[in-house]
């Protein structure tokens, strides 16, 4: 006879098996909430309560959404594609979110706003057309899965305007009256950081009158001589792939030239948003979806009034692509989470937040944002992430190819904190200028921490602007930025500066590395006397080329020495390690300074250092970084010296989100001399030294002494020197030291390297 325990165990395992079966089939572990299933082969007349009685369309989901309760799930079948907008008008509760996700196996279900064009009409001249139904003027078109821009004149580059009137008109003396561009759109560069867009209301001769009410821009051009181009007009279609959409007539045009349109897959976004939250809805979960092809946003949490607050909503493990505006637009609320999501090919932002708190943006991949000039309806600020926020984290994201900033952060009130850490940002400011991979400004009292980010290739695009050179920065603390901690970051290959402080104050900048930037660190006081209370310690500002500077300081007041406190930094330019500082203030004008004259000028950087050795070939400089979560080992092809004097060979190990600068090193064979005013005091060898260092005094008469100082400026060993003295350094750590020899009233310094 079997025991009761046997039957209890039997039913336990049976229940677990049933639970696993339902989880695999339905994608939901909640056995008690209602799950609603949608598949391409379903029927809207079904109950929708099982995969075998699924609904078929998004419109039917919307018709039933008001009946959904906390804990319910709306599940789309994997491998299927659904067209339209999911309209959310209900809330979940704590522990019982309303979920929109996937069920079954295979690829994520696709929520699409794309219409695939077929049945083209030949309009002649290489232009084809198709009547389409669209909710608005489209702003996203692809050919064979690649985004193409709206037609424009000229096809590349900018025309130049010689005068303007406020935010209403521009005049180009070379512009004729034919063709007439009334009704088209104008993309006008108004300054380094703005490419505005408006509708041309009148074109007469050389003058274009325009209106920017569609974008809400009030920006006025800053100077004459900036550029513009014209778009959104059938007359601009002259190059393969250019398109024009007339939503009034419902007609879409594309220029194919000699290419047969039947050989191409053309998709046009005809839906405004793919997931639309009406506002004021909480505890929503969106995950495991592929969202593609929107005129505006893939996910839009609408904010109309200050009461439209969406709290504790999360988006996870989604793929978002081809959005005419933003990938995700968050309204106002607390507890937003976007994690594990890929976002690419958006015309304004990857993620935009009007105002968020207690948020988490982590482990996302964001690429190709606002990279087609004029395609964005947002005049400035387009880029990877934009957050006006309090209390949140932006961690472990990868942002690549951004038209303007990589990450833009503003706000931060007293007692709050924002942490931007362990992100990899590559190739920013591809369309605009005067921005940064990480950009922030404003005199906010909350603590903003920028920590362990890797930044590469900050471009700065000057096309259509007066200044064609890069004005873009790796980490940009713009006007009045305060209470920031910038630490352990790496910036490489910036067209302007690695770290820039523009009238910034009360900030801590420590343990950062800049490499191959036009300016390692750049201070700018463009008005007033604002750069104060800056703590700058243990940073490495490394200039690769002779035309670059380790540090630049420009001030409209004679106040450079009052910027704060700096020490134990490296200002290195081994190809020409002399005048590595450039400074200007009213009383002196521009001056180039050595580290020694900078120290005298400011009274700062007493223990800061230059490069440990010089080079004659920049190819002897090696830069490595690790923008992953894993410890990485890098093989070396030669013996190298680090900035701190440590010799490495064979391989090196880099911790996550760290970097290293290496200089190829050959062991010197000559004896090193210590001289004072051309007179030899002593000789020292070997250098580098492994165990014992020999010091020989040139003139044995009189007393002499020595002192060894480490890279932090700390005295680590003192002693007397006879005619020939051996100093045992066996127990010293590897690195760079200073040897000071004193004889009578004379003294001399020599760098020594312990290996």
The residues, ordered by sequence, that sit 6+ positions from 251 with a Cβ below 8 Å of its Cβ are 129, 130, 131, 132, 245
pLDDT of 678 reads 65
Write the CA distances from 91 to 71, 280, 317, 338, integer angstroms.
Answer: 10, 8, 21, 18
Gap between the Cα atoms of 337 and 358, Å rounded: 9
Question: Is residue 2 predicted with pLDDT exceeding 50?
Answer: no
Higher pLDDT, 256 or 411: 256
CB of 9 within 8 A of CB of 17? no
Region 368-388 average pLDDT: 88
Q: How many CB atoms lie within 10 A of CB 10?
A: 11
Q: Which residue has the tokens 């964001």?
A: 366
Gap between the Cα atoms of 38 and 231, Å rounded: 40
Tell me the DSSP string of 574-603.
TTS-S--EEEE-TTT-SEEE-HHHHHHHHS
Helix (H) or strand (E) holding 117: none
Nearest-5° angle of CA 519, CA 457, CA 157?
100
Please choose, from the candidates 187, 196, 186, 185, the residue with its C-alpha nearest in 3D space to the C-alpha of residue 219: 196
Please choose, from the candidates 650, 601, 658, the residue with its C-alpha nearest in 3D space to the C-alpha of residue 626: 658
SS (H, E, C) 494-549: ECCEEEEEECCEEEEEECCEEECCCEEEEEEECCCCCCEEEEEECCEEECCCCCCE
Identify the band that residue 10 occupies on the pLDDT scale cut at 50, 70 and 90: very low
Write the CA distances from 287 to 84, 290, 337, integer angstroms.
Answer: 17, 9, 11
Q: Which residue has the tokens 């690649």?
A: 146
Does residue 625 have a cis bond before it (omega within 30 degrees)? no
* 708: three-class secondary structure by DSSP: strand
User: How many separate helices (H) and strands (E) can be counted in the chain?
Assistant: 3, 69
Counting every residue, how long is the chain? 755
Assigned token pair, 602: 């400011």
Q: How many CB atoms lie within 10 A of CB 172?
A: 17
Mean pLDDT for the chain?
91
Q: What is the spatial order of strands in the sheet that 724-728 belongs to? A: 672-676, 679-685, 692-697, 724-728
Identify the band that residue 146 occupies on the pLDDT scale cut at 50, 70 and 90: very high
Assigned token pair, 680: 């030899």
DSSP E strands in 324-472: the ranges are 326-334, 337-339, 342-346, 349-362, 365-369, 383-395, 398-402, 405-410, 417-421, 424-428, 436-440, 447-451, 454-458
Higher pLDDT, 523 or 705: 523
Write the CA distances from 397 to 274, 365, 367, integer angstroms.
Answer: 23, 6, 11
pLDDT of 416 reads 78
Task: Return phi, psi of residue 331, to 5°.
Answer: -85, -115
Q: Which residue has the tokens 């063709």?
A: 179
Write the pLDDT tens digit of every residue in 401-454: 999 999 999 876 666 789 999 999 999 999 999 999 999 998 888 889 999 999
Gap between the Cα atoms of 285 and 88, Å rounded: 11
DSSP 122: E
Write the pLDDT tens digit of every residue in 464-517: 899 888 999 999 999 999 999 999 999 999 999 999 999 999 999 999 999 999
DSSP 262: G
Question: Is residue 26 predicted with pLDDT exceeding 60?
Answer: no
β-pair type (146-147, 141-143): antiparallel
Write the pLDDT tens digit of every residue in 614-628: 999 999 999 999 999
Q: Distance from CA of residue 552 to its chain's centroid?
A: 24
Assigned token pair, 101: 């996700």
Which neighbouring-strand residues pair with 640? Answer: 648, 664
Please choose, from the candidates 300, 347, 348, 324, the residue with its C-alpha nearest in 3D space to the C-alpha of residue 137: 324
Q: Distance from CA of residue 405 to its chain's centroid?
A: 6
Gap between the Cα atoms of 526 and 415, Å rounded: 30
Assigned token pair, 175: 């512009």
Gap between the Cα atoms of 71 and 90, Å rounded: 11
Q: Which of 286-295, 385-394, 513-522, 583-592 has the lowest mean pLDDT?
A: 385-394
Q: What percent of the chain has pLDDT over 90?
A: 74
pLDDT of 528 reads 74
* Dihedral sign from CA coordinates of 122, 127, 131, 132: positive
For the chain, domains (ranges, CATH) are 1-113+276-345 (2.160.20.10), 115-267 (no CATH), 618-664 (no CATH), 672-754 (2.60.40.3080)
Identify the band that residue 305 occupies on the pLDDT scale cut at 50, 70 and 90: low
Helix (H) or strand (E) holding 713: none
Write the CA distances from 44 to 53, 55, 61, 158, integer angstroms.
Answer: 9, 4, 9, 52
Task: Return phi, psi of residue 134, to 5°.
Answer: -140, 145
Region 578-594 average pLDDT: 96
Q: Which of 53-57, 124-128, 211-215, 262-266 has the lowest mean pLDDT?
A: 211-215
Identify the band that residue 585 occupies on the pLDDT scale cut at 50, 70 and 90: very high
CB of 381 within 8 A of CB of 401? no
Torsion of CA 439, 441, 447, 450, to 10 degrees: 20
CB of 255 within 8 A of CB of 243? yes
Q: How many CB atoms lie within 10 A of CB 257?
A: 13
């Amino acid at each position: 006879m079997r025991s009761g325990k046997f039957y209890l165990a039997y039913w336990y395992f049976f229940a677990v098996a049933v639970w696993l079966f339902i989880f695999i089939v339905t994608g939901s572990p909640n056995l008690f909430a209602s799950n609603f299933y949608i598949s391409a082969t379903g029927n809207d007349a079904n109950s929708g309560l099982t995969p075998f009685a699924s609904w078929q369309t998004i419109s039917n989901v919307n018709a039933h959404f008001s009946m959904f309760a906390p804990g319910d799930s709306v599940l789309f079948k994997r491998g299927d594609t659904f067209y339209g907008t999911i309209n959310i008008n209900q809330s979940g509760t704590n522990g019982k979110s309303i979920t929109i996700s996937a069920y079954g196996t295979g690829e994520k279900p696709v929520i699409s706003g794309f219409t695939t064009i077929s049945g083209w009409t030949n309009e002649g001249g290489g232009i084809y057309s198709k009547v389409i139904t669209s909710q608005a003027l489209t702003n996203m078109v692809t050919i064979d899965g690649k985004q193409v821009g709206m037609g424009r004149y000229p096809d590349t580059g900018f025309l130049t305007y010689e005068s303007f009137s406020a935010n209403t008109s521009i005049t180009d003396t070379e512009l004729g009256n034919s063709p007439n561009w009334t009704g088209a759109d104008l993309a006008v560069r108004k300054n380094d950081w703005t490419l505005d867009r408006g509708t041309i209301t009148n074109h007469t001769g050389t003058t274009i009158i325009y209106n920017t009410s569609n974008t809400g821009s009030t920006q006025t051009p800053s100077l004459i001589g900036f550029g513009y181009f014209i778009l959104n007009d059938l007359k601009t279609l002259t190059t393969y792939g250019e398109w024009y959409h007339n939503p009034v007539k419902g007609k879409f045009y594309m220029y194919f030239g000699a290419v047969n349109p039947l050989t191409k897959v053309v998709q046009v976004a005809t839906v405004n948003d793919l997931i639309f939250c009406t506002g004021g809805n909480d505890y929503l979960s969106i995950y495991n979806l592929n969202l593609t092809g929107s005129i505006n946003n893939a996910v839009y949490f609408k904010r109309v009034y200050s009461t439209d607050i969406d709290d504790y909503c999360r988006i996870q493990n989604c793929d978002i692509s081809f959005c005419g505006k933003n990938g995700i637009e968050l309204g106002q609320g607390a507890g937003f989470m976007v994690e594990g999501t890929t976002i690419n090919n958006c015309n304004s932002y990857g993620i935009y937040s009007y105002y968020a708190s207690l948020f988490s943006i982590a482990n996302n991949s964001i690429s190709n944002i606002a990279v087609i000039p004029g395609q964005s309806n947002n005049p400035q600020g387009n880029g990877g992430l934009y957050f006006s926020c309090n209390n949140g984290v932006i961690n472990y994201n990868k942002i690549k190819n951004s038209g303007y900033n990589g990450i833009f952060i503003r706000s931060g009130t007293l007692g709050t904190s924002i942490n931007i850490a362990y992100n990899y940002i590559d190739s920013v400011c591809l369309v605009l200028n005067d921005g940064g991979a990480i950009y922030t400004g404003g005199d906010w009292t909350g603590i903003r921490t920028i920590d362990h980010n890797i930044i590469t290739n900050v471009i700065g695009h000057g096309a259509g602007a007066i200044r064609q050179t890069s004005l873009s920065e790796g980490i940009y603390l713009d006007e009045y930025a305060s209470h920031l901690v910038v630490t352990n970051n790496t910036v490489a290959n910036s067209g302007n500066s690695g770290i820039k402080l523009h009238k910034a104050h009360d900030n801590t900048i420590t343990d950062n590395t800049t490499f191959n930037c036009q300016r390692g660190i750049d201070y700018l006081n463009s008005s007033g006397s604002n750069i104060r209370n800056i703590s700058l310690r243990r940073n490495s500002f490394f200039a690769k080329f002779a035309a670059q500077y380790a540090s630049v300081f420009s001030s409209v007041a004679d106040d450079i020495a009052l910027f704060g406190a700096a020490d134990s930094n490296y200002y290195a330019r081994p190809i020409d390690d002399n005048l590595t500082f450039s400074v200007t203030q009213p009383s002196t004008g521009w001056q180039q300074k050595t580290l020694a004259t900078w120290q005298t000028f400011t009274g700062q950087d007493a223990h800061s250092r230059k490069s440990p050795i010089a080079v004659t070939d920049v190819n002897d400089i090696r830069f490595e970084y690790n923008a992953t979560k894993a410890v990485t080992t890098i093989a070396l092809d030669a013996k190298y010296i680090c900035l701190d004097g440590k010799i490495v060979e064979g391989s090196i190990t880099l911790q996550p989100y760290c970097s290293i600068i290496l200089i190829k090193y050959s062991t010197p064979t000559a004896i090193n001399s210590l001289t004072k005013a051309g007179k030899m005091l002593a000789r020292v060898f070997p250098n580098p030294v492994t165990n014992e260092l020999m010091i020989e005094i040139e003139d044995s008469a009189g007393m002499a002494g020595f002192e060894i100082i480490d890279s932090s400026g700390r005295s680590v060993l003192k002693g007397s020197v006879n005619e020939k003295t051996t100093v045992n350094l066996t127990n010293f750590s590897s690195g760079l030291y200073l040897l000071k020899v004193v004889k009578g009233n004379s003294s001399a310094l020599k760098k020594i390297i312990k290996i």
